[in-house]
Amino acid sequence: MLLTRILTPTEVGAYFLAISLIGVLAILAQVGMSRPMVKLVASALATDRPQAARHAIRVALLVTLTSGILLALALAAGLGEALSAILDDGVALRGVLPIIAVMVLAFALIDVVAETLRGFHDLRAASAFGDYLAQRAALMLVLGTIWLVGWPADLTTVLVAALAAAVLMLLLALGQLRRQLAKIGRHGARWSTPEVLGHGLPFLLVRLNFWFSAGADLWVLGMFRPPEEVAVYGAASRLAMIVGTPLAVSNAVLAPIIAELHSRGERARLERVLRAAATLGALPALLLAALFFALGDRILSISFTEAYAEGRLVVVTLAIGHLVNVLFGSCALALIMTGHQRDVVVTSALAGLVTVVAFYLVAPTYGAAGVALVGALALILYNVVLVGLVRWRLQMITCGTFSTTLLRRFADELTGAFGRPR
């Protein structure tokens, strides 16, 4: 919202493309090690093996730091030029490639530390640093100040501020991780380094496939459409993502709980918790989707100025996709945290490939509206397959329900699972 009042639509489009690029390169820099840290740390502490947790953390941070530096150097040396060249108008990105390169390293490390804190059940810190929430909040303060005082700013100014906020949050996250490590001992058998690294590859493939399904849309659109249309699509898609927020909240809390309940063989309780989270999340998601359907253009105008009102069809289409995603619950997370990540890898790989090809086919002719429709349909079909896999592999259902009796039972179960002593 602040960006659209500070930058031109062309610069806003370039900003969305830059953040999308940083996101996928940060995933590559982690070599898939961020999400496994939840499982590795939580399971190590649950079995009184703090030394295993310490070793996993050292391996994850060292691997991320090394690969992040290499990727940053490659991006600044020539990879960035090649990527910007495939865009319809990639000139704006070329001048900020060094900033983007350093942001890749910072974002990758923040994500690894945040997921590690989640494994410690430090949900408050993990939620603050996870998904770069604290970094975005700090950036918002800077952008708000720039807007209020009327200080002229461009894309470079905004990205420098984003980088400064990321470095600050990384230092704070590392400080919190150090405090958590001081609370645990150094005893117990540890995993070998190959064992730790072996958890990374499936998660790397899963997250890359997620990006191809949910992040490649901006880049494919940028290949065929001007930055102004990319800006409208980016703003509308960001707004539609709010509908999926309840699922993101559930996943942030459920990851260590799924690992623990599954390791103890409490399958019936795990299903009740998963369905409870999906049900409780579906209620606000449904209200938000209805609100965007009724007042999408007005909300876009108020949020992003009148120039973005034409994104109503995009926000409504994507909101429907996110709503279905919430209704189906944490099906992907359930498979990943119970050892069935290969199913998610294969499914998301096929879904990502088909989705990107469909983006490429519809973007030249149908633009933002066509890309949004493909994205929503891909998300729905992907969830249908994953729900079937959960039913087959785990003999359980993750979808929500609107039975009042079951809702009361689910709420009690959810409270018990989230409120028990750690």
Q: Are residues 181 and 207 in the same domain?
A: no
pLDDT at 113: 94
Q: Are residues 151 and 204 in the same domain?
A: no
Q: Global pTM?
A: 0.78
CA–CA gap between residue 64 and residue 74 (Å, rounded): 15
Q: Are residues 23 and 60 in the same domain?
A: yes
Q: Are residues 203 and 189 in the same domain?
A: no
Q: Are residues 242 and 183 in the same domain?
A: no
Express each pLDDT in 288-330 by its tens digit: 999 999 999 999 999 999 989 999 999 999 999 999 999 999 9
- Please report which confidence band the pLDDT of residue 380 belongs to, taking 50, 70 and 90 as the band edges: very high
Express each pLDDT in 114-139 by its tens digit: 999 988 888 888 888 987 888 999 99
- Taking the CA atoms of 389, 393, 398 and 402 in sequence, report the sign of the dihedral they define: positive
Q: How far is CA 257 from the centre of its chain?
A: 19
Average pLDDT over residues 144-162: 93
Domain closes at, from 147, 179, 194: 194
Of the listed ranges 47-56, 354-363, 375-384, 404-413, the least confidently predicted one is 404-413
Q: Are residues 139 and 233 in the same domain?
A: no
Instruction: Please state the domain count of the chain.
Output: 2
Domain that holds residue 177: 1-194
Of the listed ranges 48-57, 247-256, 354-363, 385-394, the least confidently predicted one is 247-256
Q: Are residues 74 and 190 in the same domain?
A: yes
- The vertex-250 CA angle with 341 and 343, nearest 5°, equals 15
Express each pLDDT in 99-113 by its tens digit: 999 999 999 999 999
- Please report which confidence band the pLDDT of residue 403 belongs to, taking 50, 70 and 90 as the band edges: low
Express each pLDDT in 189-240 by its tens digit: 888 888 888 888 777 877 777 677 667 898 899 889 988 999 999 999 999 9
Name the more confident of 284 and 401: 284
| 352, 209 Cβ separation under 8 angstroms | yes
Q: Quick check: 405 pLDDT over 70?
A: no
Cα distances from 91 to residues 17, 30, 132, 181, 333, in angstroms, run 12, 28, 27, 45, 39
Residue 67 tokens read as: 């690969």
Q: Are residues 222 and 121 in the same domain?
A: no
Express each pLDDT in 361-376 by its tens digit: 999 999 999 999 999 9
Residue 225 tokens read as: 């459409």
CA–CA gap between residue 118 and residue 132 (Å, rounded): 14
pLDDT at 422: 41
Q: Are residues 227 and 155 in the same domain?
A: no
Q: Are residues 366 and 226 in the same domain?
A: yes
pLDDT at 326: 95
Q: Which residues neighbour 126 within 8 Å (Cβ) at sequence distance 6 or greater?
A: 114, 115, 117, 118, 252
| 10, 231 Cβ separation under 8 angstroms | yes
Which of 329, 240, 327 has the alpha carbon at shortest distance from 291?
Answer: 240
pLDDT at 197: 85
Q: Are residues 145 and 261 in the same domain?
A: no
Name the more confident of 403 and 79: 79
Domain closes at, from 160, 194, 228: 194
CA–CA gap between residue 126 and residue 134 (Å, rounded): 10
pLDDT at 164: 95
Q: Quick check: 172 pLDDT over 60?
A: yes
Q: Are residues 189 and 203 in the same domain?
A: no
Domain closes at, from 155, 176, 194: 194
